[in-house]
Structure 1
Amino acid sequence: MSESRLREQICLFARSMFERGLTHGSSGNISAVLDDGGLLMTPTDASLGFLDPARLARFDAQGRFVDGDKPTKEAPLHKALYESRIGSGAVVHLHSTHAVAISMLPGLDPASVLPPLTPYYVMRVGDTALIPYHRPGDPAVADAIRGLAGRYASILLANHGPVVAGTSLTAAVNAIEELEETARLHLLLRHLDPRVLSADQVADLGRTFGTPSPSDARDPHQH
């Protein structure tokens, strides 16, 4: 995909998510990999509803900032996911309400925050890991992501929000939206003992669709 088209797509997806209330104010950030190995990233303190394609931050293939507005302070967590989740083409981070609410609940399993409520959660997201709270922009967030060693495409930052990597921008956006919808369903059904997908059903989805899961872990140093 050309750089100009990717810039436009980032802004279109960003505006769509903003207008549907998936993130608010100047929260949330998006990055995507260019054909030359460089990276486009949304700027710091920028509303996802009003981005200018020409002002997106650009990094070269060595990770050096080369052009555009100053990148989001969450750039290290994006880069940590690209380093550890080899083959990722985009990363999306939101402050979506229901996912943030889930991250504040007691007794969460940090290896699997949400149950397999629907096939599309399993197919598009897999398991979601939980990382303890760190202030936004803290390098410790990136270190915690690297500590997961590429086992998760979907990560929930406690009291902060979700971050998801995908093979493409479309895949990353679809996955983070599915994560938010699953978080909403989980809150709606939390005290109602809902029926979840069985281990056999989850395994069948994995065999059929090759869903992301911790078992897909790859050595982050192998390219």
Structure 2
Amino acid sequence: MTEAQLRDDLVRLAKSLFERGFSVGSAGNISVRVADGLLITPTNSCLGFLDADRISKLDRDGRHVAGDPPSKEVFLHRAFYETRPATGAVVHLHSTGATALSCLADVDADDCIPPLTPYVVMRVGTVKLLPYFRPGDASAGDLIRGLNGAHAAVLLANHGPVVAGADLRSTVQAAEELEETAKLLVLLQGQRVRLLSADQVQALRGAFGGPPTP
């Protein structure tokens, strides 16, 4: 896709996420790789009302070269691009279910989105819970780099999910799948839950694959 097409796609998909309640106000940010850098939603922008021409553009070294100033959480995005070279897009949301899950004290930090459904296995993979850092603190990016590309998605404690994928559309779909699974997990708190077995997870990955490897 051309840069112009990617800008239009970003605007359309961001608007869809906003209209369906995956983000509110100026929460959340989305980026997509282009040939000479990356595009990212501007700081304090609303995903429902983006202007394609004002989307921020960074060069390959992370310098702001066009558009409005980039999201203050651009470091989350750059950490995924740097450690997972196959990454073509990154989606960070403050969606209700995933954020609620990130606030629970007893969540497994090494696998905070367990294999409840086949699609979360296929589209998201194992999700790591990262400790809380204030929004805009670059230390969270350092933690993502410290994972060395082992995870396509993380959950920021008391904050929300960040998902990386091969392209913009599949990454949005993975973020949607993570959110819906998080809602199920919150709804099922206190209930006896039947997770997919290790053999079932392996069979899914053998048949359908999973998130792109680094």
Same fold (TM over 0.5): yes
Alignment length (residue pairs): 214
Q: CA deviation at 1:107?
A: 1.9
8 A contact 2:165–2:211 mirrored in 1: no
Equivalent residue, structure 1, for 2:19: 19
Residues 122-168 of structure 1 deviation map (CA, whole Å, 9 limit, x = unaligned) = 00001110000000010101111111110000100001110000000
Q: CA deviation at 1:37?
A: 3.4
Equivalent residue, structure 2, for 1:78: 77
| Counterpart residue type for residue 198 of structure 1 | S
Q: CA deviation at 1:61?
A: 2.5
Q: Which runs of 5+ in 2 are unaligned?
A: none
* Partner Cα distance (2:40, 2:114) in 1: 31
Equivalent residue, structure 2, for 1:221: none
Query: Scaled by the length of structure 2, what TM-score is found?
Result: 0.97
SS in 1 for 2:30: strand
Equivalent residue, structure 2, for 1:172: 171
4+ aligned runs moved over 4 Å, structure 1:
none
Answering whether residue 125 of structure 2 is matched by residue 126 of structure 1, we say: yes
| Counterpart residue type for residue 107 of structure 2 | L
CA RMSD of aligned residues (A): 1.1
Alignment of 1:149-164 (within 5 A): 149-164=148-163
SS in 1 for 2:142: helix
Equivalent residue, structure 1, for 2:97: 98
| Counterpart residue type for residue 12 of structure 1 | R
* Partner Cα distance (1:37, 1:210) in 2: 29
Answering whether residue 29 of structure 2 is matched by residue 29 of structure 1, we say: yes
Equivalent residue, structure 2, for 1:202: 201
**Sequence identity percentage:** 55
Residues 56-94 of structure 1 deviation map (CA, whole Å, 9 limit, x = unaligned) = 001122322100000000011110111011210000000
Answering whether residue 10 of structure 2 is matched by residue 4 of structure 1, we say: no
| Counterpart residue type for residue 44 of structure 1 | T
Query: Scaled by the length of structure 1, what TM-score is found?
Result: 0.93
SS in 2 for 1:86: coil
